Amino acid sequence: MKLRMVILLAVFAALPATVLAAGNAKEGKEAFAAHCQMCHGPNGEGNPALAKMLHATIPPLGSKAVQSLTDAQMKEVIEKGKGKMQPIQGLSAADITNVIAFVRTLGKK
């Protein structure tokens, strides 16, 4: 019995945090629409007019560069901003986890 418990704990410890704490992509899509869509577009492809106006590059969220970020790195960008992107206000920790889950679906299209 003790051996089973040790093995089970070892398996959970080896799993990435994203597997254990995956968000709800459907709820993330709603939060994305309310807080992110204006700049990133409804499907994460970016808003070219806004990018031009800001003299900024908005990478497609489904791109390999964005999808290769860890969830922790995405969370940091959302909370602290990056480049010309400002920190996003008004998102709870659960909202952020859900937005990240939604962004992950964009890489699968």
The CATH number covering residue 54 comes to 1.10.760.10
Residue entry with tokens 């700049």? 39
Buried b (16+ CB within 10 A) or exposed e, 60-69: bbbeeebeee
What is the rounded CA–CA span in Å between residue 4 and residue 42? 46
How many domains in the chain?
Answer: 1
In a domain, residue 12? The reply is no
In a domain, residue 37? The reply is yes
In a domain, residue 39? The reply is yes
Domain containing 88 equals: 23-106
In a domain, residue 7? The reply is no
For 54-83, write each residue's pLDDT tens digit: 999 999 999 999 999 999 999 999 999 999
pTM (2 d.p.): 0.78
pLDDT above 70 coverage of the chain, percent: 80
Q: Which residues of the chain have pLDDT under 50?
A: 6, 8, 17-20
In a domain, residue 95? The reply is yes
In a domain, residue 16? The reply is no
In a domain, residue 100? The reply is yes
Contacts of 90 (CB under 8 A, 6+ apart): 35
CA dist 74 to 31, 53, 54, Å? 15, 24, 21
In a domain, residue 2? The reply is no
